[in-house]
Structure 1
Amino acid sequence: MTPRKRTRPVLSATLAAAFCLAAPGTADANSPDTHACSPAVTLDRFSDALDKTTYDGTYVGNLSALAVDRDGSLAALGDRSTLFRLDAHGLRPTEALPLADEGGKELDSEGLVVDRDGTRLVSSETEPSVRRYSRTGKILERLPVPENLRVAPAGRATANQTFEGLTLLPGGHTLLASMEYALAGDDSGTVRFQTWTREHGRFRLGAQYAYRTDSPELGVPEVQATPDGRLLVLERGFTAGVGNTVRLHLADPRHATDTSRVEHLTGQPGVRLLRKTPLADIADCPTLGATARQPQPNPLLDNIEGMTVTGRDGKGRLKVLLVSDDNQNPAQTTRFYYLRVRTSV
């Protein structure tokens, strides 16, 4: 999550206006060649339909995570403690559910999983934490977190740089959360992924893995499991006056070292990182008519934080949906990106 500017939203539009008018920047796929971001990734279209809108008095933005609900709708998590339900086809909101911690305070909610029973697992950067909520927003469970991943002085993590991504691996027995940046004492750019394993219906602490970003300036805002148990990993950074860097990788946890008992990750022999394969730099995608309100390497780019796999196409490619977090900032955009991703690389 980028530093927040708590400004009031400007240019707010009603949802009726957003959906009656053609959504700005929405484009459809015509030729696969003209929509290619890389040999492995194609951009079908994007949509700004929800940018600077409200629903039932709640600002629709600050979106940091996506998930497909059991009824086929989309769950979209705002990092200011709101869980939205969206129509999967038109993105129209139909519900805005406030979330809170055990003391009734807002979360810095960043990661989202819809579990097989319909409950919601939500990560927060504050402590960090992972909580299970009912469909009505009641806290049902809080998962244990290793001491080293807690925010200093309780642990070695930096505030606002903890649990960002959350995903459930195939089979539903392993939950995985990604830290955004490195712990104090670990090499810069080396990010820890924490797992939990389900035993008798509850999640217990599992293995921990290490992942290295392309550069120390890049963090991991999201991670999503693929049907074969590998991971789609977003890397994201921001440089003032230049804009965002957003890259998509495929990571394989098989054969990676369990680092839960490795105090400091310093590139020592015998510690095998998650093996990763580059899929695409989103800056290389076609603009498709996108515009940006601030400098960007590609006007399509913004602060992309959320990702979910929505299915497969007829060629076996994953349908992947991304969303950007506008930080309720008039210079940023809430934008959805519809990708097709070939993972046979």
Structure 2
Amino acid sequence: MKLIKKNLKFPKIIYLGIFIIVIISLFLINLSTSAVEISGIEFIGQATLPKGLSFQKTEVGGLSGITYDARNDLYYAISDDRGQKANARFYTLKIDLSKGSLRNGGVVLVGVTTLLNDNSQTFTAGSSDTEGITLTKKDTVFISSEGDVGQSVNPFIKEFSLASGRVITTLPIPNKFLPNQNGQQGVRNNLAFESLTITPDNKHLFTATENALIQDGLAAKANLGSPCRILQYNLLTNQPEKEFLYQTEPVAPLLNLTGRFASGLPDLLALDNLGHLLSIERSFTGLGFAVSLFQVSLEGSDDIQDIKSLLAVDFQNIKPVKKKLLLNLRTLDVALDNIEGLTFGSKLPNGQRSLILISDDNFNSLQRTQILAFKLQIEAPIIKFLRSLIPHF
């Protein structure tokens, strides 16, 4: 009997080995499902494109969305030109962050691609208002258009070939987003699908209305936010599958001598595959622009896909997406323009991730195409894992 008990006394090294295997297994599970958490952001410079810049017989401007091609170290920026300056198009850019910062001269145009419609023809003037762009793993880009409510042109989300600019796929738009004849439903003019992003695993695409649908509430006003909808697509089926309430922040105008005010949600950026995103909220306040970056989580938010009108239900019982302010760009020593697009950028020399923002100059001589660069501090999964195990780590 004593001999049996003696044999059952395993060496401590075996227990330690089992413990290590369990910890590594738990960490790998955590790593595969870990949400990205941005713990810091630092401004590392800006560049502006020359006013009136012409490239390959097109006027460069209206750059309202941008996406990054890490494999080729290229950026693609969509122009919202409705065919008044040139055909619907996106530009290919190089952005030099090799020294860990961005300076004037660090952004260079290297290509322009004309978009072709379902008939392999250029879009006719006024038939598109292309605002958002996001890259897939298939050498294609999805591009969103706001349409034109006044001209009965519906918004769209289409997939285009990077090489040829031809349409490959058109995603269906839920009926509640489409304007009707009596003006009681759908997106507001110029306040529709500005944003577009795809999750890293390429399984889901997100877009959002810039302001509330007509049947959901008011458009943003001074000191009043607007209830937007985030629309989630399943790219395995190419069908819309969920919607979420995103409430924009109320913005106070500063010395609004012009009487003009505009505010909304112009872009989203997927951080991971678990419904965590970055959002831009941009406002014209009468004295320049106010721009803020938020971290957004869809976790615990209500799916409002089956709600046709938010005004027809008890609004207070709906759980909106969670938001956390990451940066108020007005705290930077930078004169801000009409920032509308954002994307992850290239890795910096220290290995940290960069973030790129771009402005839409509206082809206005008083505005400019501005590119802002930031360094992101992203908490490593192992640190997050240890923090979950050890309080106050």
**AA at the equivalent of 2:47:** S
How far off is 1:170 after superposition? 2.6
**AA at the equivalent of 1:58:** T
Q: Secondary structure of 1:87's partner?
A: strand
**AA at the equivalent of 2:75:** L
Say if 2:114 is the partner of 1:102: no
Distance 2:186 2:176 in 1: 5
Task: Select which of 130, 138, 142 maps to 2:157.
Answer: 130
Say if 2:124 is the partner of 1:78: no
**AA at the equivalent of 1:198:** L
Task: Select which of 264, 281, 285 maps to 1:235.
Answer: 281
Q: What residue is the counterpart of 1:15 in the other structure?
A: none
Distance 1:255 1:315 in 2: 35
Say if 2:139 is the partner of 1:118: yes
Deviations, residues 86-107 of structure 1 (Å, cap 9, x unaligned): 1232321121112243363252
Deviations, residues 86-141 of structure 1 (Å, cap 9, x unaligned): 12323211211122433632521111111110111100000211011112111111
Deviations, residues 177-219 of structure 1 (Å, cap 9, x unaligned): 11111011323311001111022xx411110111011127520
TM-score, with length taken from structure 2? 0.69
Distance 2:300 2:374 in 1: 29
Q: What residue is the counterpart of 2:199 in the other structure?
A: 169
- Checking the alignment, whether the CA contact within 8 Å between 1:64 and 1:79 is kept in structure 2 is yes
Q: What residue is the counterpart of 1:323 in the other structure?
A: 358
How far off is 1:262 after superposition? 1.4
Distance 2:349 2:78 in 1: 29
User: Which has the higher mean CA deviation after the structures are superposed, 183-192 or 160-169?
Assistant: 183-192
Distance 2:108 2:346 in 1: 20
Task: Select which of 230, 233, 243 maps to 1:196.
Answer: 233
Q: What residue is the counterpart of 2:271 in the other structure?
A: 226
Distance 2:239 2:231 in 1: 11
Task: Select which of 302, 307, 310 maps to 1:257.
Answer: 302
Distance 1:85 1:274 in 2: 33
Distance 2:240 2:273 in 1: 22
- Unpaired runs of 5+ residues, structure 2, are 1-38, 82-87, 97-105, 148-153, 219-225, 252-261, 385-393
How far off is 1:317 after superposition? 5.5
Task: Select which of 192, 195, 212 maps to 1:182.
Answer: 212
Relative distance call for 1:233 and 1:316 in structure 2 (3 A) is farther
Q: Secondary structure of 1:121's partner?
A: strand
Distance 2:208 2:305 in 1: 14
How far off is 1:173 after superposition? 0.4
**AA at the equivalent of 2:91:** F
- Checking the alignment, whether the CA contact within 8 Å between 2:201 and 2:273 is kept in structure 1 is no
Deviations, residues 26-79 of structure 1 (Å, cap 9, x unaligned): xxxxxxxxxxxxx84321000013543111111111101111124121111111
Q: Larger radius of gyration, structure 1 or 2?
A: 2
Relative distance call for 1:50 and 1:322 in structure 2 (3 A) is farther
- Unpaired runs of 5+ residues, structure 1, are 1-38, 288-299
Q: CA RMSD in A?
A: 2.3
**AA at the equivalent of 2:319:** R
Deviations, residues 214-272 of structure 1 (Å, cap 9, x unaligned): 127520011101136411100011133x1211111110011111111112225624421
User: Which has the higher mean CA deviation after the structures are superposed, 42-51 or 275-284?
Assistant: 42-51
Q: What residue is the counterpart of 2:62 in the other structure?
A: 62
> Alignment length, in residue pairs?
292
Task: Select which of 264, 273, 276 maps to 2:323.
Answer: 276
**AA at the equivalent of 1:325:** D
User: Comparing both structures, which one devotes a greater share of its residues to helix?
Assistant: 2
TM-score, with length taken from structure 1? 0.79
Distance 1:256 1:74 in 2: 32
- Checking the alignment, whether the CA contact within 8 Å between 1:50 and 1:91 is kept in structure 2 is no
**AA at the equivalent of 1:255:** G
- Checking the alignment, whether the CA contact within 8 Å between 1:197 and 1:205 is kept in structure 2 is yes
How far off is 1:316 after superposition? 7.7
**AA at the equivalent of 2:370:** R
Q: What residue is the counterpart of 1:340 in the other structure?
A: 375
**AA at the equivalent of 1:268:** F
Q: What residue is the counterpart of 1:247 in the other structure?
A: 292
- Checking the alignment, whether the CA contact within 8 Å between 1:40 and 1:280 is kept in structure 2 is no
How far off is 1:314 after superposition? 7.6
**AA at the equivalent of 1:148:** K
Task: Select which of 78, 86, 95 maps to 1:88.
Answer: 95
Q: Secondary structure of 1:341's partner?
A: strand
**AA at the equivalent of 2:167:** I
